[in-house]
Amino acid sequence: MSPEVEILVKKFSALLRWERRKRREQVCATASSYALAAALLALPFYAFLRAPGSRWMIPIVLFMLLAPVLFFKRRWRREDSARALARVDQTLRLEERAITAWELIERNDSRPTAQLVLKQAAEKLKTLDPAALFRRRWHWHHMVALPLLVLWLALMGFDIDRQFDSGLLPSAIPTTAHRLREYSRELQERAKSEGLRESLGLGKELEKVAQKSIDAKTADDRFKKDLVATSQKVEAMGKSAAEQPSFSAGESRQSLRDLKAELETARELLKFPEAANTEEKLAQQWLDRLAGMPQLKRQFDKENQAGQKLSQNALQSFLDRLDKQATGELDRRALLEAQQFLEQLMKQGQGEKGEHSVRVPAGNEQDGSGDGEKMRTHSNLPGKEPGKKEAGFQSLPQFPAGAPARVKGALGEGESSGVVFKGKPAPGKSELSQEEVIATYRRQAEAELNSERVPEALKETIKNYFMSLGQSETKK
């Protein structure tokens, strides 16, 4: 190999190596820009990713997908080498000596004319420094990568992608964590309204566990495994509560709730001014009122079989004790229910069953009515046996459209409400006791009276009316 050829081979290799490197860098920059742009566009869909931390991998994954395509599309070809050499000729005004020399070397042309071309080309190219002569040139699609990266990091830093979660996830299949969170919130609400301390604590804890899993996008299977520890904890709480049952298993949750409502009413009674009178009067008044509170009466009768004298303090302590017991029992049952819910949640395949399928009462509970969320169908109307079709049953008459029967209430100023009946209730004897119905009405009235919708002036009148309902019935 002549010295000219050696020089040229070295210079051409350096030039082509430099040009290839520039090409690789440009392809990487382009792929980065496209990957980051795609990652930004896909931001609303990050919610679908289950694995924790996977959202940070999206640009890398997109880059890995795009880069091979771009590298293949912009792979180095012979034309690229020719183009690079033509640029050398053009820049150094070599009148195609470089590209001709390159081809002559490839062809191994040893003719004297070819040697002259090689000689002239070597003379002109021996000082060639490709990196200095052909610097990197960046276009907008290369330079946009950095601003896109900063923007993407900023958006991820502010958790913008998570703001889309609420908009997208409900439409998707709810995960176990979502179901648990929903249940825990319901449990907390119920515990707050009924004053169940243990259940409230458990509800908060469950919500925390569920929220953590939702944030971390933990996979369902893994979450179920994590739930085992929580379930064991709940089980332990349930067991300790089950050791001290205060009421028989036959007591329904509804009757316990009624009892609590009656206890509240009874406390009010003790605060009446006439409560300061003689013990006889108090006892008489107490017994009169007790007639309208069937659950309380039953408990009172159990306790006071000896016919002890009633002092205000004794009554107060009786009511306190009973209230504590009823609350404890409700708390215990709520814990058991939560335990059962968790067990079924862990067993259940995702999306196979609806949420209602796990919302079953505790095994030792005989509460048919549940939380009172049952649909009011013909079969569970008062006086009807659920599931049993009566011989004389006829469907209720339909009122013509546009002319609903409306029963007006006592209208005054402000918001008013009415009840639309679909038809007359079917005749028959109710199987529910009158006491239970009255107690339910009273409880509902108590709840309504606590709302601001009822004017203050009328509250006392309404309260008295419902209290008197039980008394008048007893008198009859």
Partner 1 sequence: MESVTDIEQRMQSARRAFEELRAEMGRFIVGHDELIEQVFIALVCGGHCLLEGVPGLGKTLMVRSLGEILSLSFSRIQFTPDLMPADITGTNVLSDDPSGRKIFEFQRGPVFAHIVLADEINRATPKTQSALLEAMQEQSVTVGGKLHRLENPFMVLATQNPIEMEGTYPLPEAQVDRFFFKLLLQYPNREELGRIADLTTAAPPAPPRDVLDAAGIMQIRQWVREVPLAEVVKDYAVRIVMGTHAGEAKRNGAISAQKFVLYGSSPRGLQSLILAAKARALLQGRPNVSFEDIRVMVAPSLRHRLILNLEADAEGIGAETILAEVLERVAEVP
Binding footprint of partner 1 on the chain (CB under 8 A): 79, 82-83, 86, 89, 95-97, 99-100, 102-104, 109, 111-117, 119-120
* Cβ nearer to partner 1, comparing 115 with 246: 115
Instruction: Give residue 191's Cα distance to chain centre.
Output: 20
* Cβ nearer to partner 1, comparing 119 with 459: 119
Q: What is the residue type of 207?
A: E
Provide the minimum distance between the beta carbon of 18 and partner 1 in the complex, in angstroms, as a whole number: 18
Provide the minimum distance between the beta carbon of 140 and partner 1 in the complex, in angstroms, as a whole number: 23
* Six token digits for residue 384: 């009807």
Provide the minimum distance between the beta carbon of 117 and partner 1 in the complex, in angstroms, as a whole number: 5
* Cβ nearer to partner 1, comparing 79 with 413: 79
> Quick check: 322 and 290 in contact, CB under 8 A?
no
* Cβ nearer to partner 1, comparing 83 with 347: 83
Helix, strand or coil, per DSSP, at residue 419: strand
Sign of the Cα pseudo-torsion (221, 225, 231, 233, in order): negative
Helix, strand or coil, per DSSP, at residue 321: helix
Residue found under tokens 């009446």: 272
Q: How far apart are CA 358 and CA 340, in angstroms?
A: 8
DSSP for residue 407: E
Provide the minimum distance between the beta carbon of 109 and partner 1 in the complex, in angstroms, as a whole number: 7
Pairing of strands 419-420, 406-407: antiparallel
Provide the minimum distance between the beta carbon of 24 and partner 1 in the complex, in angstroms, as a whole number: 21
Helix, strand or coil, per DSSP, at residue 144: coil
* Cβ nearer to partner 1, comparing 110 with 366: 110
Provide the minimum distance between the beta carbon of 92 and partner 1 in the complex, in angstroms, as a whole number: 13
Q: How far apart are CA 358 and CA 132, in angstroms?
A: 74
> Quick check: 98 and 89 in contact, CB under 8 A?
yes
* Cβ nearer to partner 1, comparing 100 with 295: 100
